[in-house]
Amino acid sequence: MANTKGRLYVVGVGPGHHDHMTFRARQVLEESQVIIGYDTYISLIEDLIGGKEVYRYPMTQEVDRANQAIEFAETGRTVSLVSSGDPGIYGMVGLIYEILADKKWNEQNGIYVECVPGVSSLNSCSALIGSPLMTDFAVVSMSDLLVPWEIIVKRVEAAAIGDYVTVIYNPASKKRIHQLRDTRDIFLRYRKPETPVAIVKGAFRESQKFVVTTLEKLLDYDDMLGMITTVIIGNSSTFNYNGLMINPRGYKSKYDLVSETTRQ
């Protein structure tokens, strides 16, 4: 359906390396006249956006970014608002739709909006450290900038009680120190100290570093904890095999996993 007021793509560029960016993401970046995003995310795709009109923002100016992207699209231009990972997972597309709802945007007559999904941290980090997300899992952000810490604590405890493998985004920052410690203490009430835990920093970027440790020793790796780090806490079935974090899907209860030919 044709629209006369421009196009807005909210684009997930994945973890950082171009090999893990979708074909559609590259396609819309090429099509766009204007690129808008957090400065770090723009730097990840700099070689793909030469000659375009680029607007870089520091952190915490998400509302300004979103409004500028919408306003450019409303003038008839084609715009890409860039997120790392997936824009629908702690990304920018939610804010875009909130603003559009306040503006009484109409999908039929307004600007064209498309969320271009990307590889999120939970995908990229789990790929590096084994198979931790084979059963039900929960995702929780430690950032209490927009969500009260009391609410985050309730969600963490629910995940711990429910025996979910738990992915933790934004585990720590310079100003945010106690949150991950408190989270570990909650999990230790319901999980064994030797429960496998993965810490992945900068997955598929030049700064990539990861380790599989235990819940008890999680805080021993404070040098790896930061805003580009993801922590994955195993459930009661997760085990460490040669540095890989493995979460059984349940096949062993129904099948003989190793064939006689393989045994020989």
pLDDT value for 254: 67
CATH 3.30.950.10 fits 122-246, yes or no: yes
pLDDT at 221 over 80: yes
Nearest alpha carbon to residue 180 among 234, 131, 143, 125: 143
- Cα–Cα distance, 250 to 61 (Å, whole number): 45
Written as six digits, the tokens of 257 are 């996993």
3-state secondary structure of 117: coil
Opening angle at CA 214, ends 212 and 217, nearest 5: 110
pLDDT at 176: 79
Alpha helices for the chain (secondary structure H): 23-31, 39-44, 62-74, 93-102, 121-129, 149-161, 178-188, 260-263
Q: Which two tokens stand for residue 30?
A: 């090429």
At 250 the pLDDT is 65
> For residue 262, what pLDDT band results from cuts at 50, 70 and 90?
low
pLDDT of 263 > 80? The answer is no
pLDDT in tens, 56-100: 998 889 999 999 999 999 999 999 999 999 999 999 999 999 999
Indicate if the pLDDT at residue 185 is higher than 90: yes
Give the predicted TM-score (pTM) of the model. 0.90
Dist CA 100 CA 111 (whole Å): 10
Q: Give per-residue pLDDT as tens, 13-36.
A: 999 889 999 999 999 999 999 999
Contact 151, 143 (CB under 8 A): no
As a whole number of angstroms, the distance between CA 18 and CA 121 comes to 15
φ, ψ dihedrals at 8, nearest 5°: -125, 115
Burial code (b: 16+ CB inside 10 Å, e: under 16) for 217-254 equals ebeebeebbbbbbbbbbbbeebebeeeebbbeeeeeee
What is the reported pLDDT for 2?
A: 45
For all residues of the chain together, what is the average pLDDT? 92
Q: How many CB atoms lie within 10 A of CB 255?
A: 8
Tell me the domain boundaries of the chain. Answer: 7-119, 122-246
Better-predicted residue by pLDDT, 79 or 227 = 79
Rg of the chain's alpha carbons, rounded to an integer? 21
CATH class for domain 7-119?
Answer: alpha beta
* pLDDT tens sequence across 110-153: 999 999 999 999 999 999 999 999 999 999 999 998 999 999 99
**Calpha distance 178→155 (Å, rounded):** 16
- What is the per-residue pLDDT for 241? 96
pLDDT class of 1 with cuts at 50, 70, 90: very low
Task: For residue 3, name the pLDDT band (cuts at 50, 70, 90).
Answer: very low
Measured at the CA of 168, the angle between CA 218 and CA 59, to 5 degrees, comes to 115
